[in-house]
Chains A and B, each alone.
Chain A
Amino acid sequence: MNTTTFLQYCLAGISIGGIYAMIAIGYTMVYGILRLINFAHGDIFMMAAYFMIFAMVDFALPWYVSLALVAIATVLLGVFIEKIAYKPLRSAPRMSIMISAIGVSYLLQNLATYLFSALPKGYPQIPFLMTNINLGGISTSVVTFITPILTIIFVVLLMQLINHTKIGMAMRAVSKDFETSQLMGIKINRIISITFVIGCFLAAVGSVLYFTPRPSVYPMAGSLPGLKCFIAAVFGGIGSIPGAVLGGFLIGLCETFIKAAGYSEFSDVFTFLILIVMLLFKPTGLFGEKIAEKV
């Protein structure tokens, strides 16, 4: 492997890692606030891809209008799911809400199969994203190049929001203590909705970036990427945003290099192996908080 190919793989790995990071943020934020692993998140990501097909293929809208519509539709879907499937279970045992999330995941997959058939549908191309560019000998497409940049921009904005705004302060408070947050006058349902808005917006962006270089979408297309991003979130320490980002990049890089070494069929095995090893030796993940339940 010479330097150019090595750098090429690095870029590809960071790029797919950036997408994983964006989706992993959705898992980690929802967990941080609701202590819920939102198993439907990967399927929301898949639905975003179908929304794109609707907008660009069926309605033949220009790509920039489509992008805005996809973001809005995905966010609405996520908030709607929260209101219907999670909010009524707010005081139920945690297991119930998790089962509800698994139910929503299957519901979305089957709904997509019913509405759009199980056959793969072609994903629309945004021409300028697929343009080839040459960076000092590394030839790549625009989408591969801008993905990590977009990821970093969004992460920085998100960290600013969480650490330096009133809403962010409320989110941190709610993530620690529902009841006391209410006593401060915080409307917790509103904060939870905002969390879903952010998570689903990032899933929509991730979806466009993920499917653009891929030919087609099918109803199960969100399942495996969703799982990998969940693993990225666990790896980084679920509940921690920097952890999810680091986890996403690491898994993206490892996966790419395993494929480059000629073991494509083992790349997913490896991801799950990471999960098992992490859970065995550091169950709280890289940046996870220690779970010390106070009596």
Chain B
Amino acid sequence: MSNILEIKNLVVSYGGIEAVKGISMEVPQGQIVTLIGANGAGKSTTLKSISGIVRPKEASILFDGEEMVGKSPDYIVSKGITLVPEGRRVFPNLTVMENLKIGAYLRKDNLKDDLEYVFRLFPRLKEREWQMAGTLSGGEQQMLAVGRALMSKPKLIMMDEPSLGLAPLVVKDIFRIIQTINEEGITVLLIEQNANMALKIAHKAYVIETGKITMEGTGLELLENEEIKEAYLGKSKK
């Protein structure tokens, strides 16, 4: 299976402090890959570097074989990488419909089919089409953020903590949607603090600690791992 995304030795520093200290990871085409780790481990920074929002100090990020480091965020989006940012970040002053349309900002073709696809995935958004996004509930905003990302017709969708601050039932919904999206052929790179849920659906998983990858394996392998159980799943080794 070929890798859609290959990161080699990613180093990012903010004002002299290295937040990410040489991460290497591979995302195989068509899979769900998750990156788990504590607050401040460098997960979000990794995703932002892939999107081109943060400039890495050094790295090679190959997407479909093409170097993405140094490219502008709009170029990276146009190549098929999209990021659902942490905290949803829908545009509160735009309607639900406009938020979806702005997700397709770089596209010049007809959006009708894709809008229908997103509305099929999230019927709630259809009901609220003309509402300002700022008036939606947290769960609806997360759906909108995912829908907005899908509107760019991505090959790789990255999600930064999609379950953050949502009710357990809604979290279940979101994870179900992630699997649906993946089954339709979109590769998913998922960051989660909810390690339990993330590992259950992931084909492949990485653990990141203070800027370094400390463990990798399939989702199930890590789910069974004693250290992981203790550190991230809240189960003690008796």
Contact = CB atoms under 8 A, between A and B. Distances in A.
A185 B83 contact: no
A173 interface: yes
B89 A185 contact: no
Interface stretch (A114-122, A164-172, A218-226): A164-172
Given A177-B89, A185-B106, A169 B101 contact: yes
Nearest to B92: A176
A184 B93 contact: no
Nearest to A294: B87
A160 to B, nearest CB: 15
B84 to A, nearest CB: 9
A170 B106 CA distance: 11
Nearest to A178: B53
A180 B91 contact: yes
Contacts of B78: 185
A169 B102 contact: yes
B73 to A, nearest CB: 4
A206 B22 CA distance: 56
B92 A183 contact: no
Interface in B66-106: 72-74, 77-78, 82-83, 85, 89, 91-94, 98, 101-103, 105-106
Interface residues of B, number: 24
A184 B103 contact: yes
B82 A183 contact: yes
A187 B74 contact: yes
Nearest to A179: B53
A57 interface: no
Contacts, number: 57
A113 interface: no
Nearest to B51: A183
Contacts of A185: 73-74, 77-78, 105-106, 152
A180 B92 CA distance: 12
Contacts of A180: 85, 89, 91
A169 B77 contact: no
Interface in A143-172: 166, 169-170, 172
A183 B93 contact: no
A183 B73 contact: yes
A182 B94 contact: no
Nearest to A175: B93
A285 to B, nearest CB: 17
A93 to B, nearest CB: 14
Nearest to B75: A185
Contacts of A169: 94, 98, 101-102
Contacts of B94: 169, 172-173
A173 B74 contact: no
Contact of B77 (A166, A176, A184): A184
A186 interface: yes
B91 A176 contact: yes
A190 to B, nearest CB: 9
Contacts of B101: 166, 169
Contacts of B106: 184-185
B133 to A, nearest CB: 10
A176 B93 contact: yes
Contact of A184 (B52, B72, B105): B105
Of A169, A172, A176, A184, chain B has the most CB atoms within 10 Å of the CB of A184
A187 to B, nearest CB: 5
Contacts of B91: 172-173, 176-177, 180
Contacts of A183: 51, 53, 73, 77, 82-83, 85
14 contacts: A169-B98, A172-B93, A173-B94, A176-B91, A176-B92, A180-B89, A182-B53, A183-B51, A183-B73, A184-B148, A185-B78, A186-B74, A186-B105, A187-B74
Interface of B: 51-53, 72-74, 77-78, 82-83, 85, 89, 91-94, 98, 101-103, 105-106, 148, 152
The 4 closest A-B pairs by CB, nearest first: A185-B77, A185-B106, A185-B74, A182-B73
Given A173-B91, A182-B74, A183-B83, 19 more contacts: A166-B101, A169-B98, A169-B101, A172-B91, A172-B94, A176-B91, A179-B53, A182-B53, A183-B53, A183-B73, A183-B77, A183-B82, A184-B106, A184-B148, A184-B152, A185-B73, A185-B74, A185-B78, A187-B74
